[in-house]
Structure 1
Amino acid sequence: MLEVITQPVTPFAQNSNLLVCQTTRQAVIIDPGGDVEKLMQVIESANCKLIAILLTHGHLDHVGGAEQLAQHCNIDIVGPHLGDKFWLDALPKQSEMFNFPMAEVFSPAKWLEEGEQFTFGELTLEVRFTPGHTPGHVIFVEHSTKRIFVGDVLFKGSVGRTDFPGGNAAQLKQSIESKIYSLPDDYTVFPGHGPTTTVGYEKQTNPFTSGRFG
């Protein structure tokens, strides 16, 4: 079974998710955007072995703590898709723009592609390529427990912004409909900001994808 511990980080209250295999206690963390000391406390309290950092996309509030945490734990950073390399290359500029602690440029040990899988413990995450919010955005699906970690593609009652460089509203809507709404209604959605929701609830009510807005 999968244990999920959500810790909001940074002034943007970005949801960093610690995923723990309850059988083996192996774990991965998705989008450690900052507040690394706080995240280390969460990891230690969970009594788990962190084996990797997974990134959905290259925006600062999702990746700002990744390199520091990777060095501290001696683990790899995996993802996002190569399409977001320009965002990682611009981390110093992002830090200045949002008045965040300076984040240095880094490259992941591996870029991710549609259909790849990442296994930890007895659990497997399916990678789905979901451009629109950023060109290289990916999401992670854990089918055995019906959970999806969607970064900034979809929120409860909203969707990710598309006015940043590389954003594309039509592409974002297509990504949501083909890569998230294609899953069963009872899958739980863990967004990068705000509360969890479900595929079915968003399909029925989300104004940005139901045709009632935009």
Structure 2
Amino acid sequence: MKYQIIPVTPFQQNCTLLWCETTLKAAVVDPGGNLERIYAAIEQLGVTLDKILLTHGHIDHVGAAAKLADETGVAIEGPHSDDSFWLENLPRQSQNFGFAHCDAFEPARYLEEGETVSVGDCSLEVIHCPGHTPGHIVLFNREAKLALVGDVLFRGSIGRTDFPGSNHSALIHSITQKLWPLGNDVAFIPGHGTMSTFAEERAHNPFVADQLLD
């Protein structure tokens, strides 16, 4: 599986274009905005968009998803159904965060723990990781040892837990009990900022380093 990170929105959210090298089928993960950048990357790479995947319901991650789906005819999958209230409240989110108006929408498929999503011949495992939002999911490609973690974990930080439905202890549990067991050699793409590895965060992250939680 190959990928390209496309920063979008004033929040510099990491939209990710994933594709299968064999079939050139692709998925866009968290298209928060700036569709022109996403279309340009798809055209430049010569891939075919097959689906849209969402890690959670915050507007900087989903703001352009419905428009992209309408324009391309592909389906939206994710997040977990526990984030449905965030998608229903997109008009209010757009107002609160200074984004252009965004209508509410419902994905074609909510994703559950243990399910898989295919991108061409590649497979992504769905891991339900509540905390930042109740329906947040992480997408994991075991062959590439790559995780798309949205706003669960960042280089040197963790997701905010001051939103409605957030839960700090649940977030810590998601990171330490669901992500760490995937392996220290897993690289991850966060929702914002630069990539890192689970080993790096277990050693140095001031919120979830192993020495802090023993």
**TM-score, normalised relative to structure 1:** 0.97
Could you tell me how far apart the structure 2 residues matched to 1:120 and 1:175 are? Answer: 25
AA aligned opposite 2:182: L
Supply the distance in 2 between the matched residues of 1:120 and 1:84 (Cα, whole angstroms).
23
1:158: which partner in 2? Answer: 157
User: For residue 133 of structure 1, what is the aligned residue in structure 2?
Assistant: 132
Equivalence map 1:81-120=2 (5 Å): 81-120=80-119
CA distance in 2, matches of 1:171, 1:30: 23
The separation in 2 between residues aligned to 1:46 and 1:73, in whole angstroms, is 17
> Stretches of 4+ moved more than 4 A in 1?
none
AA matched with 2:42: I
Structure 2: gaps (5+ residues):
none
Is 2:75 the counterpart of 1:76? yes
Find the counterpart in structure 2 of residue 11 from structure 1.
Answer: 10
Find the aligned partners of 1:110 and 1:4 in 2 and give their Cα distance. Answer: 23
Instruction: Specify the code of the residue in structure 2 equivalent to 1:147.
Output: L
Q: Post-superposition shift, 1:205?
A: 1.0
Q: Offset of 1:212 from its aligned partner?
A: 4.5
Identity of aligned residues (%): 47
Using the alignment, how far apart are the partners of 2:107 and 2:130 within structure 1?
18
Inter-partner Cα distance in structure 1 for 2:174 and 2:183: 16
AA partner of residue 9 (structure 1) = V
TM-superposed deviation, 1:44: 1.1
Corresponding residue for 1:59? 58
- Partner of 2:181, secondary structure, is coil
SS in 2 for 1:145: coil
Distance 1:48 1:109 in 2: 22
Unaligned 5+ segments in structure 1 are none
Residues 1:23 and 2:25 aligned together: no
What CA distance in whole angstroms lies between the structure 2 residues aligned with 1:189 and 1:202?
10
Q: State the distance in 2 between where 1:37 and 1:180 align.
A: 33
TM-score (norm 2): 0.97
Deviation by residue 1:34-75 (Cα, 9 ceiling, x = unmatched): 111221111111100111000000000000010010111100
In the alignment, residue 96 of structure 1 is paired with which amino acid? Q
Question: Number of matched residues?
Answer: 212
SS of equivalent residue, structure 1 residue 144:
coil
Aligned partner of residue 182 in structure 2, secondary structure = coil
Letter in 1 for 2:52: I
